[in-house]
């Protein structure tokens, strides 16, 4: 998962390491008491008599810059020389210019939304420029820390604890799932029903997809496999009425969570988007969950934005994450909508649903996963 983006981030680390490389000072030379001090440490050398009989060790009036004194540039060079003599260096902006340009192209080619890519680059600059590092410590470690912080900042936008919210909410909790056709909404509902059951919650399924022929049969098959109750109406019925009936059923039977499917729709389908707004208005769901495919990349990001505008989503589920080499949607959606990714679908089985943890995802991208 996300192997392509992982490789590109690793290339960035290597590029910065090359750009920031400075000549090492042999530690034995630094520790040799007989070795001559470097020019940058001349001020620390033993005092010597001057022509007027004073000692270098005695205070003297500093000459202003331009009249024999140090300029800002001189002082900057002096500082860098001292750092080099002690085995350290500072990562400068020019060290990052080429690697950051290449990283931006890599992010964009991995379907990361442009503003999100720029936010990541800004975070890296802030975390790296001026960073003092020991030359004996690999630059890659410093760069990795900066990448980690920048990526987590972007991915964590709006993040909340899904399990905690379910536990604290008044029952029944009503969740409505939306997205375009064929992205796995119905299967995601079934997976989430299994996920909630394993945590002690009962669920009822509701088929609000009253437009698609075969939708009842598809969701009924999942309900039978999971031994769940399905609330459905005839094809062409009002989706809001179906989900409303499911809520009433849950209240009468002490069911904890209502999981409502809706028709797949494009953001350009005005009638269907109006229907989604009606469901939001009539049902007032506790959560509206946007579902799309991770492999859809930039298209998924754009759709998430449009659906959030139509009926404010509370979070997203990305299916087919196991088949996505890029990771652009996973990185971008939260930042673009301000709403978190809650789960990743990683296969066809009911157990193939994993919580989206920004720290885990970033560790995976930086090569620290156990795979």
Question: Tens digit of pLDDT for each residue in 136-154?
Answer: 345 556 777 888 888 888 8
Last residue of a domain, one of 155, 185, 214: 155
For residues 67 and 137, give the distance between their C-alpha atoms in angstroms, rounded to a whole number.
Answer: 40
Domain range holding 144? 3-29+71-155
Query: Are 148 and 183 in a shared domain?
Result: no
Q: Indicate the average pLDDT of the chain.
A: 77
- The CATH number that applies at residue 304 is 3.40.50.300
Domain final position from 155, 177, 200: 155
93/218 same-domain check: no
Tell which of 155, 184, 203 closes a domain. Answer: 155
pTM over 0.85: no
**DSSP state at residue 317:** E
For residues 149 and 127, the answer to whether their CB atoms sit within 8 Å is: yes
Average pLDDT over residues 174-198: 93
Pairwise CA distance, residues 56 & 86, whole Å: 23
d(CA 257, CA 329): 28
- For 56-94, the pLDDT digits (tens) are 444 444 445 544 455 555 544 444 444 444 444 566 777
Residue 178 vs residues 42, 132, 206, 220, 277: alpha-carbon distances, Å: 70, 48, 13, 18, 11
pLDDT at 45 > cutoff 70: no
Q: What confidence category does residue 163 fall into, taking pLDDT thresholds of 50, 70 and 90?
A: very high
332 shares a domain with 261? yes
Residues 114 and 237 in one domain: no
Q: Judging by DSSP bridges, how do beta strands 88-90 and 132-134 pair with one another?
A: antiparallel
At 30, the pLDDT band (50, 70, 90 cuts) reads very low
| CB-based burial label for 9 (10 Å; 0-12, 13-18, 19+) | buried
Angle at 259 between CA 357 and CA 171, to 5 degrees: 90
């Amino acid at each position: 998962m996300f192997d392509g983006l992982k490789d590109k981030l690793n290339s960035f680390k290597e590029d910065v390491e090359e750009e920031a490389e400075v000549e090492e000072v042999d530690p034995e030379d630094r520790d040799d008491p007989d070795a001559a001090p470097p020019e940058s440490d001349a001020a620390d050398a033993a005092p010597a008599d001057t022509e007027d009989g004073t000692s270098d060790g005695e205070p003297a009036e500093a000459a202003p810059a331009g009249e024999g004194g140090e300029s800002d540039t001189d002082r900057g060079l002096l500082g860098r020389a001292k750092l080099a003599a002690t085995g350290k260096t500072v990562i400068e902006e020019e060290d990052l210019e080429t690697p950051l340009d290449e990283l931006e192209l890599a992010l964009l080619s991995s379907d990361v939304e442009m503003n999100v890519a720029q936010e990541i680059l800004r975070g890296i600059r802030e975390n790296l420029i001026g960073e003092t590092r020991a030359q004996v410590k690999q630059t890659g470690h410093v760069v990795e820390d900066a990448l980690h912080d920048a990526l987590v900042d972007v991915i964590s936008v709006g993040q909340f604890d899904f399990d905690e919210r379910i536990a604290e909410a008044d029952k029944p909790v009503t969740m409505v799932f939306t997205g375009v056709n064929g992205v796995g909404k119905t299967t995601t509902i079934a997976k989430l029903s299994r996920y909630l059951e394993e945590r002690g919650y009962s669920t009822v399924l509701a088929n609000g997809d009253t437009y698609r022929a075969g939708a009842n049969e598809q969701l009924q098959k999942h309900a039978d496999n999971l031994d769940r109750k399905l609330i459905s109406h005839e094809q062409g019925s009002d989706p809001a009425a179906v989900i409303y009936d499911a809520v009433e059923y849950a209240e009468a039977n002490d069911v904890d969570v209502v999981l409502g499917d809706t028709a797949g729709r494009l953001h350009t389908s005005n009638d269907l988007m109006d229907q989604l707004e009606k469901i939001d208005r009539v049902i007032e769901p506790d959560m509206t969950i946007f579902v799309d495919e991770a492999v859809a990349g930039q298209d998924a990001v754009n759709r998430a934005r449009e659906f959030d505008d139509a009926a404010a989503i509370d979070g997203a589920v990305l299916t087919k994450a196991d088949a996505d080499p890029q990771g652009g949607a996973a990185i971008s959606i939260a930042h673009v909508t301000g709403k978190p990714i809650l789960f990743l679908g990683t296969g066809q089985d009911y157990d193939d649903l994993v919580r989206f943890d920004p720290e885990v995802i970033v560790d995976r991208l930086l090569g620290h996963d156990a795979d």
